[in-house]
């Protein structure tokens, strides 16, 4: 049963209170409103507040154009080439992102001369309703209106929140072609929120999964890291394997049962509150493959392990343009695990024990020993002589603010 849209929930019909909204975000909303513009809280923050979760960040939608926003806020910087977004900066490196409502562009609409496309897209604004329609999932398209503290739902997101469903706005067959990363995001939100996927998502993934290879690697990299930061890498990558997406997402990653079991250990560690960085995630992702390609026998030289690690990590890092520093750290973690798996009493052990990467390698090795239980005695031996690394606990939901387009490029 589809409700009449838009559904508007008045202040007394929903649980979101201003006290839950970031102070600086409220300041921006109020200033927009005082100057005659609409000020809406949009996207993930409304969804999370309605679910009783604390949002990672607060994004704002408005009918003020980027230049109008800039005139209203001294601490405002416009970013993005195609889609101009306003970043309002506050103390402590806090950035509140303010985006003008926009709408989807159809290829037919674009000016004939490609040189005019950029100007056209930059100035293509829309109504709040059109803005809701261009978003990815219904639960991500809810608005909170600062004018009367109401929630506005143009798409049916409230009903889907209620039923705990991830529903693509429009036809997934079309929306996944527009932006293949949405396939991964669908699985990601389902795992994060423990929601189910609408049935029409599966045939659309089956048809269009190979388009994932055409997605911008930087965006895929960002979403993969999000899986690790939210502690959902194992279930989502397992599902990617089952749906045949893995080769199009991570060409060199085999996704074996043991490999996924290792990711489960990593996810549990993240959920217990340990920060995860990209080198640790990479090493965890490829540990099983690495150990297979270079079995840690006592006679195997470190140079062999170094080469095996490089051969596995280099194609991944090249494809995703991952900095050398991260790759080298991941390589050292893999080689560190190799040394640990070879056992004690090898040449260079003292130097290895003093090396800064060793404690983190032992953490990785300990997780691996939960999968390969025969390694447990070795783990015990090493743990007795290696001091733990000084990882700082964190809240699992924190991550660096992204600066990227919020809508796909028109075809
Ligand atoms: P998170 O808690 O991870 O920040 P979020 O829903 O805020 O979740 P973002 O990636 O920050 O996700 O994106 C903000 C909003 O932009 C989304 O809620 C969604 O409305 C819209 N959006 C993001 N990516 C896409 C996309 N690929 N296609 C359409 N809309 C998108
Ligand atoms: Mg967000």
**In angstroms, what is the span from residue 215 Cα to ligand 1's centroid?**
16
Is the pLDDT assigned to residue 108 strictly greater than 90? Answer: no
Is the pLDDT assigned to residue 148 strictly greater than 70? Answer: yes
% residues pLDDT > 70 (the chain): 94
Place of tokens 């493959």: 289
Q: Which residues are catalytic?
A: 57, 59, 136
> Model confidence at 396, in pLDDT bands (50, 70, 90)?
very low
> Model confidence at 315, in pLDDT bands (50, 70, 90)?
very high
Picking from 43, 42, 30, the residue whose alpha carbon sits closest to that of residue 72 is 30
Region 59-78 average pLDDT: 96
DSSP 3-state assignment of 125? strand
The CB of 405 under 6 Å from ligand 1? The reply is no
Taking phi over 0 as left and psi of -120 to 50 as alpha, with beta for the rest, 52 belongs to left
Kindly state the tokens that stand for 142. Answer: 């809810």
Region 91-107 average pLDDT: 93
Is the pLDDT assigned to residue 285 strictly greater than 60? Answer: yes
Region 111-115 average pLDDT: 90
Closest atom of ligand 1 to CA, residue 178? 28
Is the pLDDT assigned to residue 217 strictly greater than 80? Answer: yes
Report residues near ion ligand 2: CB below 5 Å. Answer: 44
Candidate of 44, 56, 395, 401 to mutate for ligand 1, largest count of ligand atoms within 8 Å of Cβ: 44
Could you give the C-alpha distances from 165 to 138, 168, 407, in angstroms and in order?
9, 10, 22
Torsion on CA atoms 286, 292, 294, 298, rounded to nearest 10: 120
Q: What is the pLDDT of residue 159?
A: 97
Helices 233-242 and 257-271, packing angle to 10 deg: 150
Q: Which of these ranges, 101-105, 190-194, 319-323, 369-373, has the smallest mean pLDDT?
A: 101-105
Is the pLDDT assigned to residue 139 strictly greater than 50? Answer: yes
Query: Which residues contact residue 351 at a Cβ distance below 8 angstroms, ignoring those fewer than 6 apart?
Result: none
The CB of 43 under 6 Å from ligand 1? The reply is yes
Place of tokens 């589809």: 2
The CB of 135 under 6 Å from ligand 1? The reply is yes
Kindly state the tokens that stand for 154. Answer: 């143009």
The CB of 182 under 6 Å from ligand 1? The reply is yes
Region 245-258 average pLDDT: 95
């Amino acid at each position: 049963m589809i409700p009449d849209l838009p559904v508007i929930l008045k202040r007394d019909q929903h649980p979101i209170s201003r006290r839950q909204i970031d102070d600086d975000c409220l300041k921006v909303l109020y200033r927009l409103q005082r100057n005659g513009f609409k000020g809406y809280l949009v996207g993930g923050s409304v969804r999370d507040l309605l679910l009783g979760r604390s949002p990672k960040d607060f994004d704002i939608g408005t009918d003020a154009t980027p230049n109008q926003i800039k005139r209203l806020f001294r601490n405002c910087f416009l970013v993005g080439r195609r889609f101009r977004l306003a970043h309002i900066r506050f103390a402590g490196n806090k950035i509140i992102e303010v985006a003008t409502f926009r709408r989807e562009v159809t290829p037919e609409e674009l000016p004939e001369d490609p040189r005019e496309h950029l100007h056209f897209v930059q100035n293509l604004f829309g109504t709040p309703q059109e803005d809701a329609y261009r978003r990815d999932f219904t639960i991500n398209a809810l608005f909170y209106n600062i004018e009367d503290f109401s929630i506005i739902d143009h798409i049916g997101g409230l009903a889907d929140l209620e039923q705990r469903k991830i529903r693509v706005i429009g036809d997934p067959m079309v929306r996944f072609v527009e932006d293949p990363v949405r396939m991964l995001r669908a699985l990601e939100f389902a795992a994060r929120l423990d929601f189910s996927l609408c049935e029409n998502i599966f045939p659309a993934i089956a048809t269009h999964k190979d388009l994932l290879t055409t997605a911008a690697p930087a965006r895929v990299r960002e979403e993969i890291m999000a899986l690790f930061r939210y502690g959902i890498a194992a279930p989502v990558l397992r599902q990617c394997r089952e749906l045949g997406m893995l080769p199009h997402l991570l060409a060199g990653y085999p996704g074996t049962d043991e490999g996924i079991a290792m990711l489960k250990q990593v996810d549990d560690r993240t959920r217990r509150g340990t920060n995860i960085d990209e080198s640790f995630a990479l090493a965890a992702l490829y540990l099983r493959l690495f150990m297979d390609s270079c079995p840690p026998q006592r006679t195997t030289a470190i140079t062999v392990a170094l080469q095996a690690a490089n051969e596995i990590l280099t194609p991944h890092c090249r494809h995703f343009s991952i900095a050398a520093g991260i790759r080298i750290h991941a390589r050292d973690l893999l080689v560190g695990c190799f040394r640990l798996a070879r056992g004690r009493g090898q040449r260079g052990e003292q130097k290895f024990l003093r090396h800064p990467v060793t404690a983190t390698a032992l953490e990785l090795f300990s997780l691996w020993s939960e999968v390969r239980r025969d390694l447990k005695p070795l783990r015990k031996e090493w743990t007795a002589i290696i001091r733990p690394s000084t990882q700082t606990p964190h809240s699992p939901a924190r991550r660096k603010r992204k600066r990227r387009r919020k809508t796909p490029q028109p075809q």
